[in-house]
Amino acid sequence: MYKRSRMRKVCWFDQNSIEPDYKDQRMMESFVTERGKIVPRRLSGTCAKHQKRLAVAVKRARYLALVPFVAENLK
């Protein structure tokens, strides 16, 4: 049987030893899809701890209009 080898995903925040920051617009945009949804950890490889913090940060960034709530408001 064909065995697929997969690269183990590493948490970007752990790798760079930084924390999710709602004020960092570029960081927030990189963890949001084109539709404006938060990228799931199965795709981004973020660990559970940082995914939880990231979700809070994205929601704060949305309130401050740094990141859109929905797709039609995308830049």
- Identified binder of other proteins from the candidate list 1, 8, 18, 42, rule CB under 8 A: 18
CA-CA-CA-CA torsion sign (37, 41, 45, 50): positive
- The verdict on 45 binding other proteins (CB under 8 A) reads no
Q: Out of 9, 10, 14, 23, name the contact with other proteins by CB under 8 A.
A: 23
Does residue 24 interact with other proteins by CB under 8 A? yes
Q: Which residues of 33-57 are buried (b: 16+ CB within 10 A; e: fewer)?
A: eeebebbebeebbbbeebbebbeeb
- List residues binding other proteins (CB under 8 A): 18-19, 21, 23-27, 60, 62-69, 73-75
